[in-house]
Amino acid sequence: MAHMMAVTAFRNAEFGADSGADRLAGADDAAGGVGIDDPGMMRCLIEQTPTPTALVEGEGDRCAFANAAFRALGVVAGGDVSEQFPALSSSLLAEARRTGQPQRNRAAGDHAADGERFWDLRVTPMLGVNGAVRALIVTAEEIPESAAEHDRRLRDVSHRLKNTLQLVSSLLTLQTLSSKDPEIRRALQSAGGRIGIVTQAHQRTHGALRAGAVDMAVHLRELCQELEATLPGAHRIQVAADATEMPVEAVIPFSLIVSELVGNAARHAYPAGGPGTIDVRLDRGQAGGVHLEVVDRGVGLPAGLDVVRATTLGLKVVRAFVGQLRGKMTADSSPGGTRVSVDFPLA
């Protein structure tokens, strides 16, 4: 590798080792110029290499020289290199100094500006003519995050988010139990139900994070099965869904839209909370988009109610998330039932 050739030449020039084939057969000397074994020239070459490279001299970890690539990461001459670049451990430097042998390690570093990055770290001892370690050359090559490490981090983030959502749900439950006002209890129960929908949707999407898309037909059937078990009254939800993929980031808004529309139908479509059927349909709409329908066979919408402008919290939630997904919502209602349709663009 180019930077290792430069390190070898720099070592030979700096500490008097025989440069051998690293010399340009004395061509530069004959011309009265500098040779490739000139220390100043070697520093200039290392300065320009894209690999972060530093020279550590003495018994401690003080940086004597850092090229432009390393300075961009905060490593500068005069400071402790392991403190300036935490991914590099002092123990790696100490082992290279003790054994006189090259050392290598892979580690993650946390940089506020760039997020977590992964490095292939190499420490090469530079020996003097008596064989003693005079200095260390440190290089840090950035490596892509491994698939296993990526999955591990995703699992950790997912687990923390799930715990947070469950904590919020528990707090809402405690608040509900402590409230004696029926209206407040209903509001808290409704909020807790929405948190539950978000938690369930998050659990389903975790496995699809790498693929970036979710089969919404499978997701919709599972969601409606759970909703059917929690709806007020003996309602049945019938699902007809074609295989339809949507981006992972659309799953939670989509789930809340379905939950609110189905919940509204269950609470208001059938008189006195009587039983009824709610149809949920999902297919490919016009221009390749996604078309969702929630249909009941109830009493229809109240006179003058426009779902696009209604001020009830549930429909406000629906409109907010339909807008987030750049969709369009319409409603048709009659004494024989109500059909709410939502069309989402493909992307």
Query: 186-195, 201-210, 278-287 — which one is most confidently predicted on average?
Result: 278-287
Question: What is the tens place of the pLDDT at every residue in 315-337?
Answer: 888 899 999 999 999 998 888 88
Same domain, 136 and 165: no
Q: Report the alpha-carbon distance of residue 256 to residue 198 in Å, rounded.
A: 7
What is the reported pLDDT for 145?
64
Tell me the average pLDDT across 203-210.
61
Q: In CATH, what number is assigned to the domain containing residue 293? A: 3.30.565.10
What is the reported pLDDT for 28?
44
Q: Report the alpha-carbon distance of residue 13 to residue 46 in Å, rounded.
A: 13
H helical segments located in 270-341: 313-324
Same domain, 219 and 346: yes
What is the reported pLDDT for 213?
75
Same domain, 168 and 227: no
Same domain, 93 and 195: no
**Domain boundary at 143, 161, 193, which?**
143
State residue 5 phi and psi, 5-degree precision: -65, -40
Residue corresponding to tokens 């296993």: 148
Q: Report the alpha-carbon distance of residue 13 to residue 309 in Å, rounded.
A: 79
Same domain, 183 and 256: no
Tell me the average pLDDT across 254-281.
86
What is the reported pLDDT for 149?
66
What is the reported pLDDT for 2?
43
Question: What is the tens place of the pLDDT at every residue in 7-51?
Answer: 444 444 444 444 443 433 344 444 444 444 556 676 777 787 888
Tell me the average pLDDT across 280-301.
88
Tell me the average pLDDT across 76-88.
90
Same domain, 125 and 236: no
Question: What is the tens place of the pLDDT at every residue in 217-243?
Answer: 888 998 898 888 887 666 889 999 998
- Exposed, middle or buried, 103 (CB in 10 Å: 0-12/13-18/19+)? buried
Higher pLDDT, 288 or 38: 288
**Domain boundary at 183, 210, 237, which?**
210
Q: Helix or strand or coil: residue 65?
A: strand
Same domain, 111 and 157: no
User: Which residues, at least 6 apart from 35, have a Cβ–Cβ distance to it below 8 Å?
Assistant: 23, 24, 26, 28, 29, 41
Domain count, the chain: 3
Q: Report the alpha-carbon distance of residue 270 to residue 47 in Å, rounded.
A: 77
Same domain, 31 and 119: yes
Range of the domain at 230: 212-347
Task: Classify the C-alpha dihedral 186-191-197-199 as positive or negative.
Answer: negative
> In the structure, what pLDDT confidence band is assigned to residue 153 with cuts at 50, 70 and 90?
low
> Per-residue b/e over 224-240, b at no fewer than 16 CB within 10 Å?
beebbeebeeebebebe
Query: Residue 83 CB: number of other CB atoms within 10 A?
Result: 13
What is the reported pLDDT for 16?
43
- Asked if 277 and 270 count as a contact pair (C-beta separation under 8 A), the reply is no
Q: Helix or strand or coil: residue 17?
A: coil
Question: Per-residue pLDDT for 299 more than 80?
Answer: yes
Tell me the average pLDDT across 57-70.
87
Mean predicted lDDT score pLDDT of the chain: 78
Same domain, 342 and 270: yes
Tell me the average pLDDT across 253-282.
86
- Asked if 120 and 143 count as a contact pair (C-beta separation under 8 A), the reply is yes
Same domain, 8 and 137: yes
Same domain, 231 and 336: yes
**Domain boundary at 125, 143, 161, which?**
143
Same domain, 252 and 183: no
> In the structure, what pLDDT confidence band is assigned to residue 278 with cuts at 50, 70 and 90?
very high
Tell me the average pLDDT across 145-158.
65
Q: In CATH, what number is assigned to the domain containing residue 110? A: 3.30.450.20
Q: What is the dihedral of CA 158, 163, 169, 170, to 10 degrees?
A: 170
Cα atoms in the Cβ-side hemisphere of radius 13 Å centred on 9:
22
Number of H helices, E strands in the chain: 11, 12
Q: Report the alpha-carbon distance of residue 104 to residue 99 in Å, rounded.
A: 13
CA of 231: how far to CAs of 181, 234, 257, in Å? 22, 8, 15
Higher pLDDT, 267 or 6: 267
> In the structure, what pLDDT confidence band is assigned to residue 175 with cuts at 50, 70 and 90?
confident
